[in-house]
Amino acid sequence: MVCYVNLGLATVKTFWLALCCPPHHMRRMLIETELTPNPSTIKFLPGTVVMDTGTRDFASPEEAEASPLAEALFTLGDVTGVFFGHSFISVTAAPGVEWASLKPDVLGILLDHFSANMPLFKPAAAGFSVPSGDADYPLDDPEDADIVVQIKELIETRVRPAVANDGGDIIYRGFQKGVVFLQMQGACAGCPSSSATLKNGIEQLLKHYVPEVTEVRAA
């Protein structure tokens, strides 16, 4: 049996105490939830590491077949996106879905997964492989190697940590003729302010430190 107790109704953060009650003992797991700039997406922090390295974005039930947790979340029917970060899971609700009704179901799936120490991904032997997150994007020009190193360093040290706080990620996808291509994931994908983030935030940052950058586009 799983019960939920709301420990706070702060504007940004809400704490839920999930009580897992097997016949012989009771286990408590504190799950923190945070609102994100994307009103359709909520960030769930289970208090443990989710991804040891990297991140993983699931934009459809088909992609989620590689992960038991993501697959279970998509089976709710009202979920359109799942994102795994280092210590959080971002879940995106379908248009028109109220989080007040969806949140308990998401919390139940998260509790079942982490309390049972289930694997995050299905084994490759079952017909699935853990995706690396890399797609087939054009290779950078070797002559731009030094510029690309600067761009990647800025993204890793200045951009990604800030975006992770909002439940998302931004992945470098290429640099061609002054244009940097970035992919928005998690809460950033479909966020109303994502275009402003690219143009007014990231583009200005990269232009300031790397004069060769003339524009930032979504990949």
- The residues, ordered by sequence, that sit 6+ positions from 208 with a Cβ below 8 Å of its Cβ are none
Provide CATH code, domain 2-126: 3.30.1370.70
Mean pLDDT of the chain: 83
For CA atoms 112, 121, 59, 46, the dihedral sign is positive
What are the tens digits of pLDDT across the range 85-99? 999 999 999 999 999
Instruction: Decide: helix, strand or coil at residue 216.
Output: strand
Q: Are 185 and 168 in contact (CB under 8 A)?
A: yes
The residues facing 185 across adjacent strands are 169
- Strands (DSSP E) along the chain, which ranges? 2-6, 13-20, 27-35, 41-45, 56-58, 79-84, 89-93, 168-176, 179-186, 215-218
Assign domain 142-218 to its CATH superfamily: Fe-S cluster assembly (FSCA) (3.30.300.130)
Give the separation between CA 140 and CA 153, rounded to whole angstroms: 15
Over residues 17-60, the pLDDT tens digits come to: 544 444 444 456 788 999 998 999 999 999 999 999 989 999 99
Confidence band (pLDDT; 50, 70, 90) for 102?
A: very high
What pLDDT sits at residue 104?
A: 95
Q: What is the pLDDT of residues 122-150, one digit of tens each?
A: 886 344 444 444 455 667 899 999 999 99
- 10 has a pLDDT exceeding 80: no
- Is residue 1 scored above 80 in pLDDT? no
User: What pTM, to 2 d.p., does this model score?
Assistant: 0.75
- pLDDT value of position 199: 79
Helix H or strand E segment including 190:
none
* HEC string for 25-75: CCEEEEEEEEECCCCCEEEEECCCCCCCCCCEEECCHHHHCCCHHHHHHHC
Q: What is the pLDDT of residue 8?
A: 43
Query: What is the band of 14 on the pLDDT scale with cuts at 50, 70, 90?
Result: low
The percent of residues above 70 in pLDDT, for the chain, comes to 80
Q: For residue range 142-176, what is the model confidence (pLDDT) as tens digits?
A: 999 999 999 999 999 999 988 888 898 999 999 99
What pLDDT is stored for residue 69 in this prediction? 97
**Are 50 and 76 in contact, with CB atoms under 8 Å apart?**
no
Q: Where along the chain do its domains lie?
A: 2-126, 142-218
Give the model's pLDDT for residue 77: 96
